[in-house]
Amino acid sequence: MSVITSASGTEWEIVSGLEVHCELATATKIFCSCANQFGEEPNTNVCPVCLGLPGSLPVLNEKAVEYALRVGEAFHFTVPAQSVFHRKNYFYPDMPKNFQTTQYDEPICEHGWLEVDGVRLGITRAHLEEDTGKSMHMGGAGGRIHGASHSLIDYNRAGVPLLEIVSEPDIRSSEQAAAYVDELRSTLKAIGVSDVKMEEGSLRVDANVSVRRIGDTGFGTRCEIKNLNSLKSLRDAMDHEAARQIEILEDGGEIRQETRLWNENEGHTASMRSKEEAYDYRYFPEPDLVPVQPTDELRAHVRATMPELPAARRTRLMAELSISEQDARTLLSTDGLADFAEAAVVLGAPPRDAALWTTQDVSAHLNVLGGGATVEGLDPGLLVETLQLVSDGLVSRNQGKEVFAAALAGEGRPAQIVADRGLAQVSDSGALGAVVDEVFAANSAAVQEWRDGDDKVRKKKRGFLMGEAMKALKGQGNPQLLNQLIDERLAD
Partner 1 sequence: MNSSAFDIAADVRAGRVSARDVVEQHLATIADREADVHAFNLVMADVARRQADAVDGDVAAGHDPGPLAGVPLALKDNLCTRGVDTTCSSRILQGWKPPYDATVVTRLRDAGAVAIGKTNLDEFAMGSSTENSAFGATRNPRDLSRVPGGSSGGSAAAVAAGFAPLALGSDTGGSIRQPAALCGVVGMKPTYGTVSRYGLIAFASSLDQIGPFATNVRDAALLLETMWGHDPLDSTSIASPLPTLVQGLDDGVRGLRVGIVEELTDVEGIDPEVRAAVSSAARALEDAGASVDRVSVPSTMYGLDAYYLIAPAEASSNLARYDGVRYGLREEGTDIGTMNANTRDRGFGAEVKRRIMLGTYALSAGYYDAYYGQAQRVRTLIVRDFAAAYERFDVLLSPTSPTIAFEAGSKTADPLAMYLSDVCTIPTNLAGHCAISVPFGSDSVHNMPIGVQILGRELADALIFRVARALEVNRGA
Instruction: Please give the residue ranges that form the binding site for partner 1 (CB under 8 A).
Output: 48, 51-60, 87, 89, 91, 93, 96-99, 151, 153, 280, 282-284, 287-290
Q: How far is the CB of 35 from partner 1 (least distance, A)?
A: 18
CA quadruple 310, 312, 316, 319: dihedral sign: positive
Q: How far is the CB of 172 from partner 1 (least distance, A)?
A: 32
Instruction: Name which of 46 and 238 has its Cβ closer to partner 1.
Output: 46
CB nearer to partner 1: give 144 or 456.
144
**What is the amino acid identity at position 334?**
T
Q: Which is nearer to partner 1, 87 or 240 (CB)?
A: 87
Q: Which of 166, 207, 182 is nearest to 16 (CA)?
A: 207
Shortest distance in whole angstroms from residue 142 CB to partner 1: 18
Instruction: Compute the C-alpha angle 95/100/101, nearest 5°.
Output: 140
* Least distance CB 92 / partner 1 (angstroms): 9
Minimum separation from the CB atom of position 94 to partner 1 (A): 9
Closer of 93 and 307 to partner 1 (Cβ): 93
Q: Report the residue number, 89 or 484, with the smaller CB distance to partner 1.
A: 89
Q: How far apart are CB 63 and partner 1 at their closest, in Å?
A: 15
In sign, the C-alpha dihedral spanning 481, 482, 486, 492 is positive
CB atoms within 10 A of CB 360: 14
Q: Considering beta carbons, is residue 48 or 463 the nearer one to partner 1?
A: 48
Residue 266: Cβ within 10 Å count: 8
Cβ 218 vs Cβ 212: under 8 Å: yes
Output 52 or 350, the one with its CB closest to partner 1: 52
Closest residue by Cα to residue 26 from 61, 52, 55, 57? 61
* Distance in Å, CB of 286 to partner 1, minimum: 8
Compare residues 92 and 219 and give the one whose CB is closer to partner 1.
Answer: 92
Q: Of the two residues 219 and 279, which places its CB atom closer to partner 1 in the complex?
A: 279
CA torsion angle for 192, 194, 197, 202 (degrees, to 10)?
180
In Å, what is the CA distance from 287 to each residue of 29, 214, 290, 377, 402? 20, 48, 7, 49, 66
Provide, rounded to whole angstroms, the least separation between the CB of residue 89 and partner 1: 5
List the beta bridge partners of residue 4: 12
Closest by CA to 395, choosing from 380, 411, 406, is 406
Which is nearest to 26 in space by CA: 71, 65, 56, 58? 65
* Min dist. Cβ of residue 82 to partner 1 (A): 15
Integer angstrom CA distances of residue 224 from 51, 54, 174, 256, 274: 30, 35, 14, 11, 10
Least distance CB 159 / partner 1 (angstroms):
14
How large is the angle between the packed helices 337-346 and 310-320, nearest 10 degrees? 40
DSSP string, 239-275: HHHHHHHHHHHHTT--PPPEEEEEETTTTEEEEEEEG
Give the shortest CB-50-to-partner 1 separation in angstroms.
12
Tell me the C-alpha distance between 279 and 89, whole Å: 9
| Comparison of 141 and 445: residue with beta carbon closer to partner 1 | 141
Toward partner 1, which CB reaches closer, 58 or 112? 58
Are 226 and 262 within 8 A, CB to CB? Answer: yes
Q: Under DSSP, is residue 391 helix (H, G, I), strand (E, B) or coil?
A: helix
CB of 43 to partner 1, least distance (A): 10
158 DSSP assignment = T
| 219 versus 284: smaller Cβ distance to partner 1 | 284
